[in-house]
Amino acid sequence: MSTTAGPEQPRSASQVLVAVSGISRDDAEAVFGVLRTAYASDQATAQLPQDAGEGRPTVWTSVFEVADPRAEPRPASLTAPVTADLQGGPLPVRQMAEILARAFEVREQGAVAGDQERELRLRLSNTGIRPS
């Protein structure tokens, strides 16, 4: 996860860029941890997102390879609802949203579709199932 001012573009048709902002470090790690369980990432598994500092906006981003899922994620716990922006090809974005729905309660908040790319904003919250 990097702290960046703006998101990068996915590198291939099967990659999805995920950005979360305005949340705690623990919640960012919960979201990215679920995604790293299911997909290969451009970030090391043990790398935790870093806080930018008090009063400064932080955006955590990572690119995931969605073509070959690795494992089924388990429900994860959040301290507050999280907004996640997904950007990539329509099918990989839909597949990632389905994976997130296995770990969190997911509500779609908006979508923008282009010729080759889709942007999807999701609101993630706890499912009511306690993580093990």
The answer to whether residue 1 is domain-embedded is no
The answer to whether residue 3 is domain-embedded is no
Domain range for 27 is: 15-43+56-126
Structure tokens at 23: 């949340």
Burial 39-75 (b: 16+ CB within 10 A, else e): bbbebeeeeebeeeeeeeebbbbbbbbbeebeeebeb
Taking the model in full, what pTM does it have? 0.81
The answer to whether residue 49 is domain-embedded is no
**What pLDDT, on a 0 to 100 scale, did the predictor assign at position 52?**
54
H-helix or E-strand spanning residue 38: helix 25-38
The answer to whether residue 8 is domain-embedded is no
The answer to whether residue 6 is domain-embedded is no
Residue indicated by tokens 């993580």: 131
Number of domains in the chain: 1
Residue pLDDT tens, the chain, 132 long: 333 434 455 567 899 999 998 788 889 999 999 999 999 887 754 455 565 566 666 888 899 999 888 888 888 999 999 999 999 999 999 999 999 999 999 999 999 988 889 999 999 999 765 544
